[in-house]
Structure 1
Amino acid sequence: MKRTRYTKFNGNFADGIGLDDLMEALSDFMLDSGFQDPLSRFQELNGEHTLDNLREALKQVMESGDFLDEEAQQQYDDMNEQQREQMLDDLVERMQSGDYIQQQAGEASDMQGKTDTGEIAQPAPPQGEARFHVTDKSMDFLSYKSLRHLLGGMGRSVSGRHDTNYEASGIESSGSTKPYEFGDVMNLDVNATLSSAMQREGLTLPLNVEYSDLIINQSEYQSSCATVVMLDCSHSMILYGEDRFTPAKRVAMALSHLIRTQFPGDSLHLVLFHDSAEELPIQQVARVKVGPYYTNTREGLRLARRILSRSNKDMKQIVMITDGKPSALTLDDGRIYRNAFGLDPMVIAETLEEVSRCKRANIVINTFMLAQDFALMQFVQKVSAMCKGKAYFTSPDKLGSYVLQDFMNRRMKTIH
């Protein structure tokens, strides 16, 4: 007779740590934008995704006193150095097997400065240095966490589709009714239909219901929207003692998750603008860092307009997140004209001309400003007035609430 013997499970310390909680604790390290925050526990790691830096980040999380519960923290404190190193190896292995990270070989140093399409040039690591990259699964998880955090601060739930002032016959009732017309969905309002028949025939049996008595419920007309998020990655986004770029990345990730899960008929594209502009897959936004770039707003708007021109959605909008004055311009011959002081008359004139093209294409531009410069505020207000969009002057800690609240309000009107 076959027997099964049960014994107490003596798993290692790493097996008891939830990877989702661990990824959330590492989010600042994973989403590093190049800002050297003296208050960040990961500031000495320089945002480099090497396996050694990952192990150091894990070690700092374990020693922070905020991640582990009291019993687990005591177990960690009682470990010797060798046991801790083994535990870190086990965690890295679990993260790889769980498809949260993927290891990649170091690139040769002569590749430094090269740029592929849709990427910002980054210094290459020393040859042979073991590195890793964050997987799409991790990006999706971090996007969900960003959305949950931002919506929690707003006190709103995620529901519905894009509502407009138009109504049509359908299944979901909006509370209003209309006489039935040929071609309408037979979403019959029984009470109103019988009441109409009784007003005409009186209280008689059998009750004669005629075509003119039919009353149907109306549902709200729902339309789709194409959105381009224009993200400023010029150097000013991490200057002046404040990281403005990482919150902007979190907002783009949250917006991506919201649209994918709640508004499947919508489309979302990401455009980075700096000396020039480029489209980037939204899944890669978390890996982007700022660079020593100027602010070519006109080129970003031009690329966003081209992307939206290919869309057949009812509504088209640009969500521009920036903190700097337009300071660069792509000339006809491909050269980049730069003026570090910003608000150059030629740059402004060409940028406003591109805004006019967006207006003629029925594209609304909503701008979220992370600076309070008076001249810049005047420029943004002029852009908003031209495109009948909105201008928000906010701070990095409130950026997410402003962007998502604007998106959820859905106040744009569809013209048929």
Structure 2
Amino acid sequence: MSTSGSAPRYAYGPWHDGPDPLAAPVDLRSALDALGREVMEGGTPRSALDEVLRRGTRDTAGLDELTRRVWQRRAEIQRRHRLDGTLQEVRRLLDQALDAERRALFPDPSDDARFRESTLDALPSGTAAAVRELSTYDWRSSDAREAYERIGELLGRDLMDSRFQGMKDALRNVTPEDTERIARMMSDLNDLLLAHLRGEDTTERFEKFMREHGEFFPENPRDTEELIDALAARAAAAQRMLNSTSDQQRAELSDLMSSAFGDPRLAEQVATLDANLRALRPGEDWTSSGRFRGNNPLGMGEGAQAMEDLAALDALAEQLAQSYPGARLEDIDLDALTGQLGEESTVDARRLAELERELRAQGILDRAPDGTLRLSPKALRRLGETAFRDVVGRLHGRRGERDTAHAGAAGEPTGASRPWAFGDTEPWDVPRTVRNAVLRGGPGRVRLDVSDVEVTETEQRARAAVALCVDTSWSMVQDGRWVPMKRTALALHHVIKTRYRTDSLELITFGRHASTVDIGELVSLEGTWEQGTNLHHALLLAGRHLRRHPDAEPIVLVVTDGEPTAHLEPDAQPVFSYPPLPETLRRTLSEVDGLARLGASVTVFMLGEDERLKSFVDILARRGGGRVLAPDLDGLGASVVGDYLRTRRSRR
């Protein structure tokens, strides 16, 4: 960008590499919703993050899908190919040479022609042995001689390609000078590796080697170690290719190598090279094999490349599994991923890594004092917003009413204003806001800043003390009510903290016993096998919360799927019994009476169709003047939040 002159000027160029600058940003909200669901179902934030990355998002394939593509590609390589391409091509050229020679000999009536024919007829059946026998044969047919010479050229190209990637195409129409140049390079290479193996400083020798023979190494290694790495990976792949052939095929190929370029020195140098590389890189996989069962024959170089591809796919599968200590998505080899699966998979991997970075950078996860990951307050707010939006969508005609002045912590305007603070929902005082901007910025163009904003002060409405008691017994997990219960608590927590900030919310869980929790603890609470529905203890804690706020409107909401089956003894020990003990019911209803004396009615949200639960909540409603609602799981949040708003408005 150029800024000279009165207006900025921009220069545009082609995009070559890296993330797509026009790609849509990662969908953090969708990922957070998925992360929240996993945590609410009982997973740890770390396992929840792993699960989100495994599944992916609506626009990005996850690690599981990328892994599936890797294994599909691996199976395709083995299903499509077989490894006898070099042998097949040598046999074809040999048959071609023999047919041409016999055609040339047939019209000749001489004894020499008959002798030659008998020599051809007596050739060994094995391809390698026949090729070796013919190494000194004086061909009568020029076509036959050309076909036979092409065998040596083919073997030389395949042998070199199996050890030096991409060499096959570079060695077409090899001359004797080329053969000598290759032999000299191999000899110098082995000398270099032997010196390195002896522990000598090979820096200068390496530089000289690359000056003389760099054309054979397009990967352009920077030092001897990088050269060894590249050569050892290829040589190990070639050995695995040989391991994957039958014993007969392996013996045939080994025998044929002495005919490479018609110069046995080359096979000897390759054998020395392999021995040096095995000594320098014993950690490479020199022993495994693969099973190829397709119809497409591969030559030695192509077979070595197939084995390298399989090794790269295995490495990618390990990287995508992220199962080793310290694993990160940045470990994924994007170049290998592009080469094996294409650009689309690489884009998905980049976006997953970006998603993981953004979830951390945006403060979605933080560390607890014990070092474990947990959802941050920011993440809980976002989850609350999502849960609340779902509730709003189910409140049908109430949405407009909730979005008016009724849905806030303030009432009628007082005529005064104050600076805006995070979470304020009162209307702006526009004249004062603009005046602040003018005073701060001086004459000229007025630019508003958040510090300029003032909101209209309103009269304080009556406060409410709200106790939300949620059943955490095992039946809530078993019957699929665990996550809807948590989303309900999130939605209620969100509406109180953002729209009724003066209200005081207490979250109370009850199973065998009851306890107060914050929203983060409730969201990450794991379901445990525990018998008991101690509503008595929960109502005790609810009453304690209401007594701490004597000037507030008391609201008690209970979400449960079972009748009370436990109560608290004076020594604070819970007592469980099913069917319920009369003492359990008596103590529970006694707490309902105590709440009624505080002016609170208990609204019960009954989940399930248990007849004993129905009978009990009917008694509870008549005893305490409360209500009983039986929402379905999808409507639980709307029912609880809606009842809270209805109770609050009806008492104002």
Aligned to 2:392: 151
Secondary structure at the aligned position of 2:626 is classed as: coil
Q: Which amino acid aligns with 1:234?
A: S
Find out whether 1:247 has 2:243 as its counterpart.
no
Give distance in 2, aligned partners of 1:344 and 1:150.
Answer: 37
Aligned to 2:55: 60
Secondary structure at the aligned position of 1:291 is classed as: coil
Aligned to 1:101: 365
Secondary structure at the aligned position of 1:16 is classed as: coil
Does the aligned pair in 2 maintain the 1:100–1:134 contact within 8 Å?
yes
Secondary structure at the aligned position of 1:12 is classed as: coil
Give distance in 2, aligned partners of 1:245 and 1:392.
Answer: 18
Find out whether 1:315 has 2:311 as its counterpart.
no
Unmatched 5+ stretches in structure 1: 34-46, 108-130, 164-168, 173-218
Query: In the alignment, which of 376, 383, 386 is matched to residue 142 of structure 1?
Result: 383
Identity over aligned residues, as a percent? 24
The CA RMSD over aligned residues, in Å, is 3.5
Q: List structure 1 segments (4+ residues) > 4 angstroms apart after TM superposition.
A: 1-11, 76-81, 84-87, 103-107, 160-163, 169-172, 219-222, 411-415
Deviation digits for residues 222-273 of structure 1 (CA, Å, limit 9, x no counterpart): 432211100111111012xx31021111111111111122222322110111
Aligned to 1:348: 585
Aligned to 1:228: 467
1:106: Cα distance to partner?
8.1
Unmatched 5+ stretches in structure 2: 5-9, 74-312, 317-331, 335-345, 415-457
Find out whether 1:12 has 2:19 as its counterpart.
yes
Secondary structure at the aligned position of 2:45 is classed as: coil
Structure 1's 317 and 159: CA in aligned 2 closer, same or farther, altered over 3 A? same
Secondary structure at the aligned position of 1:324 is classed as: coil
Normalization by structure 2: what TM-score? 0.44
Give the structure with the higher percent helix.
Answer: 2
Give distance in 2, aligned partners of 1:284 and 1:11.
Answer: 41
Aligned to 2:523: 286
Give distance in 1, aligned partners of 2:363 and 2:460.
Answer: 41
Give distance in 2, aligned partners of 1:60 and 1:93.
Answer: 17
1:297: Cα distance to partner?
0.6
Structure 1's 322 and 161: CA in aligned 2 closer, same or farther, altered over 3 A? farther
1:160: Cα distance to partner?
4.7
Does the aligned pair in 1 maintain the 2:566–2:580 contact within 8 Å?
no
Give distance in 1, aligned partners of 2:491 and 2:51.
Answer: 28
Secondary structure at the aligned position of 1:410 is classed as: helix
Matches within 5 A, 1:142-291: 142-155=383-396, 156-157=398-399, 158-160=402-404, 222-239=461-478, 242-291=479-528
Aligned to 2:619: 382
Give distance in 1, aligned partners of 2:596 and 2:25.
Answer: 56
Find out whether 1:395 has 2:395 as its counterpart.
no
1:96: Cα distance to partner?
0.6
Give distance in 2, aligned partners of 1:86 and 1:31.
Answer: 28
Does the aligned pair in 2 maintain the 1:55–1:92 contact within 8 Å?
no
Matches within 5 A, 1:124-135: 132-135=373-376
Give distance in 2, aligned partners of 1:254 and 1:11.
Answer: 40
Secondary structure at the aligned position of 2:56 is classed as: helix
Find out whether 1:50 has 2:46 as its counterpart.
yes
How many residue pairs end up in the alignment?
317
Give the structure with the higher percent strand.
Answer: 1
Give distance in 2, aligned partners of 1:265 and 1:223.
Answer: 9
Q: Which amino acid aligns with 1:140?
A: R
Q: Which amino acid aligns with 2:476?
A: M
Secondary structure at the aligned position of 1:26 is classed as: helix
Structure 1's 300 and 106: CA in aligned 2 closer, same or farther, altered over 3 A? closer
1:12: Cα distance to partner?
3.0
* Higher alpha-carbon deviation: 5-14 or 145-154: 5-14
Q: Which amino acid aligns with 1:55?
A: D
Secondary structure at the aligned position of 2:644 is classed as: helix
Aligned to 2:35: 26
Structure 1's 411 and 270: CA in aligned 2 closer, same or farther, altered over 3 A? closer
Structure 1's 7 and 268: CA in aligned 2 closer, same or farther, altered over 3 A? farther
Does the aligned pair in 2 maintain the 1:365–1:389 contact within 8 Å?
yes
Secondary structure at the aligned position of 1:279 is classed as: strand
Structure 1's 56 and 246: CA in aligned 2 closer, same or farther, altered over 3 A? closer
Normalization by structure 1: what TM-score? 0.67
Structure 1's 274 and 162: CA in aligned 2 closer, same or farther, altered over 3 A? farther
Give distance in 1, aligned partners of 2:584 and 2:394.
Answer: 38
Does the aligned pair in 2 maintain the 1:321–1:369 contact within 8 Å?
yes
Give 1 or 2 for the bigger CA radius of gyration. Answer: 2
Structure 1's 359 and 148: CA in aligned 2 closer, same or farther, altered over 3 A? same
Aligned to 2:76: none
Aligned to 1:329: 567
Does the aligned pair in 2 maintain the 1:146–1:250 contact within 8 Å?
yes
* Higher alpha-carbon deviation: 399-408 or 317-326: 399-408
